[in-house]
């Protein structure tokens, strides 16, 4: 019996093994879009109801504009690379909430939130694009679903399943906070360093595809380290890889990101 369980588990893992496009990293994801997306969209709705949307029309418009441009680039990439069904499943949405925390996140299926506290670090549209590219990349690479898969493995299965059925209970809320970083206290803690580095790389490719200046993605992290020198590190910072490593990696990846973006944009227009 135990052997059977082990065997079927191995089978599931084999079937669920796939590769992240562009970075070619192997991943295991047993969470289907059908399970996760309705719950994700419901969580997003709840979050927006319980938090204050920014009344700054100009800033809100900037977030939405950058979000639309970058998600369109991602959408074009998916449709040109045999991912039409996936492209159809995303419901891109971008909102700015009034909160001084330095934070931004994206739920599965493309639901993005920026906090007003991160805007001075973004500084300009290209800077917003740097953070936006990173967040959109988390959704594109399905990092949340991978986290959820790990949670299944860690015997959180019962609770994880409940996510698909209820969006209200405090236990469900806690799991969402842990896995997806919804809510102010958890911030970006949810993602591993591998996911962060991957989101940095993919984000850079997507922001270039959308016509933004990728140097600003690097400058965002320079500004982030400057503010962290003065004050206690903000949530976004304390849970992400060290800035120095990140800036170094982004600089090193820039030529490759440019080459990818040019190639993909060429393929799409051909």
**Which residue lies nearer to Zn ion by CB, 148 or 265?**
148
**Which residue lies nearer to Zn ion by CB, 69 or 138?**
138
For residue 53, the 8-state DSSP code is B
**Which residue lies nearer to Zn ion by CB, 119 or 199?**
199
**Which residue lies nearer to Zn ion by CB, 128 or 199?**
199
Q: How far is the CB of 17 from Zn ion (least distance, A)?
A: 23
Q: How far is the CB of 103 from Zn ion (least distance, A)?
A: 10
Q: Which two structure tokens, joined as six digits, stand for 101?
A: 């925390």
* Burial of 81 per CB tally in 10 Å (0-12, 13-18, 19+): middle
Using CA atoms, how far apart are residues 19 and 26, in angstroms rounded to an integer?
A: 4
Stretch 29-88 residues interacting with Zn ion (CB under 5 A): none
Stretch 167-226 residues interacting with Zn ion (CB under 5 A): 196, 199
H or E segment and range at residue 173: helix 170-180
Q: How far is the CB of 138 from Zn ion (least distance, A)?
A: 6
Using CA atoms, how far apart are residues 190 and 197, in angstroms rounded to an integer?
A: 14
Q: Which two structure tokens, joined as six digits, stand for 159?
A: 């609770």
Q: Which backbone phi and psi does 52 adopt, to 5 degrees? A: -90, 120
Using CA atoms, how far apart are residues 155 and 136, in angstroms rounded to an integer?
A: 29
Stretch 105-124 residues interacting with Zn ion (CB under 5 A): none
**Which residue lies nearer to Zn ion by CB, 69 or 143?**
143
Q: Which two structure tokens, joined as six digits, stand for 129?
A: 């694009």
Q: How far is the CB of 199 from Zn ion (least distance, A)?
A: 5
Q: How far is the CB of 191 from Zn ion (least distance, A)?
A: 5
List interacting residues with Zn ion (CB under 5 A).
196, 199
């Amino acid at each position: 019996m135990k052997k059977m369980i082990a065997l079927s588990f191995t089978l599931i893992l084999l079937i669920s093994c796939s590769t992240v496009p562009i970075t070619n990293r192997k991943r295991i994801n047993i969470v289907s879009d059908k399970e996760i997306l309705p719950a994700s969209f419901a969580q997003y709705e709840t979050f927006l109801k319980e938090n204050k949307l920014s009344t700054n029309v100009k800033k809100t418009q900037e977030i939405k504009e950058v979000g639309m441009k970058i998600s369109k680039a991602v959408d074009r990439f998916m449709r040109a690379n045999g991912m039409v069904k996936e492209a159809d499943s995303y419901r891109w949405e971008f909102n700015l909430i009034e909160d001084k925390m330095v934070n931004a996140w994206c739920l599965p299926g493309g639901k993005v939130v920026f906090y007003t506290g991160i805007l001075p670090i973004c500084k300009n549209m290209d800077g917003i694009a740097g953070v936006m590219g990173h967040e959109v990349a988390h959704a594109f690479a399905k990092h949340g679903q991978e986290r959820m898969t790990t949670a299944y493995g860690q015997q959180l299965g019962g609770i994880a399943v409940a996510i698909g059925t209820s969006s209200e209970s405090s236990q469900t809320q806690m799991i969402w906070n842990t896995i997806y970083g919804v809510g102010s206290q958890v911030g970006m803690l949810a993602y591993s360093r591998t996911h962060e580095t991957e989101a940095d790389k993919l984000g850079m490719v997507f922001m270039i595809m959308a016509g933004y200046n990728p140097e600003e993605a690097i400058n965002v992290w320079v500004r982030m380290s400057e503010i962290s020198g003065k004050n206690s590190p903000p949530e976004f910072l304390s849970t992400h890889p060290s800035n120095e490593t990140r800036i170094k990696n982004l600089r090193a990846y820039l030529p490759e990101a440019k080459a990818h973006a040019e190639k993909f944009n060429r393929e799409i227009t051909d």
